[in-house]
Amino acid sequence: MVVAFALVPLKAHNNITNLGEHIGQLENLLKIDVSHNRLTKALDFTSAGMLQHADFSNNRIEDVDNASNHKYLRELNLSHNNIDDIRALR
């Protein structure tokens, strides 16, 4: 039996600056919403193997290096950030 969990969306405007090292240990994480914070990196964790939807909008993200590590990711919202180069998303 496979059990999947979704992270309850964090409320906007929490001033979160990083997700911490433990977020990658949530192997059954399906959805994460950390919009409207002060994150400077997106998808900087590698072990959340089931992640399908991620909202990193309205942060301070400048680059996305680890998108390819999330093979089940279907929806990624990076709007309203400081991203100049999207080559890592191809």
pLDDT digits (tens, 9 = 90+) for 73-88: 899 999 999 998 777 6
Instruction: Note if the pTM is more than 0.85.
Output: no
Judged against a pLDDT cut of 60, whether residue 20 lies above it is answered with yes
The counts of H helices and E strands in the chain are 0, 3
Structure tokens at 15: 């001033």
**How far is it, in rounded angstroms, from Cα 21 to Cα 44?**
9
